Structure 1
């Protein structure tokens, strides 16, 4: 293991080998390189950007042979259910542009289910994000979600928000901060302000603010943050 990196969890889900790591940006980058991940030139800056906000990372390796044995084909997705106790989630968007040219398009959807209408930062408007839906979740949707394995926690009522990401890679210089109470999302979580200095007593993140870099990508259909290029043979 790379010095300074702690492996918190290793698990196999279908054809994915998932590792949850704790460490600084440079240390996680060294770990990734040592484990065969090919990181683009911008990776150190992006890893530091996230490590300064949370030291927890999720890396996934796609096993093409295992996928072929399971009958998976190109384009098939693998759902990953990760539970993180957090009062106010945040969605890592900047990392979606990692490894892309400035003009490359990034298209994804973010779905949020909260107790009430959430406050968002940045607000989706002319910044590569678009608010496609914001309304009380229907009973039929909640019942359908609740019927899935491991989804018994879905509440009896809630607010459904859908945000479409339709941006160039160069636009994604931010993350999406969410205040589930509908008041004041964190500018630090949104990437609009730097975290407090480590010397500051308030710089240590509260437990509820620790998030896994990559959990949002699972919902976006791109669960691999750091990935090996191993195509499935159709």
Structure 2
């Protein structure tokens, strides 16, 4: 897998290529990262990548030509046809399902906008997918791109020490898209709070049931819409429904 980024700030991507589990996987060759600075594809002495918007208004707009030439070079260097993703508030909401879709592919070219935006003609001609992290504004697409790379790369085989770690994550399909259950480690008692007895029992069946119920409890409390989504997909068992019914009656 390979990610490319069109960015005015290529050093920002050292975070995922050099640090943490993604950095280790990068060193192992599980995935690759390359950045392309639109300033390197300008023709004027000032290396101009933006200009004033037609129609007036505040801010500047990124020029189409430097982005277009940078993208051409990135695609030629890759030699394949990946998604060309723009990080944009108008895009599809990025979630775990999208991360899993991207993890099954060759990677992507991530276009990181700055200023007031990008000339729409470049977007219309070259972007194949727009993604948004949520309903908030960032100064540019780099931070959102880093989040996407991290969430996708950690799903690749061999990146995490234990493959089950990703499958147990919140929002993962193997967990019915629910929130993960609470986790505990040593010491057994911390500030007068003991680890739940069931986790000390060594009884894997009981532990599995407890974790599922805690996942259901936390999701019902914090993100009830995820419960309904899992129900609509037919991913809740009869035992799940009995637990949720008992939980609802106890809180009335």
Give the structure-1-normalised TM-score: 0.24
More strand by share: 1
* Higher Cα Rg, which structure: 2
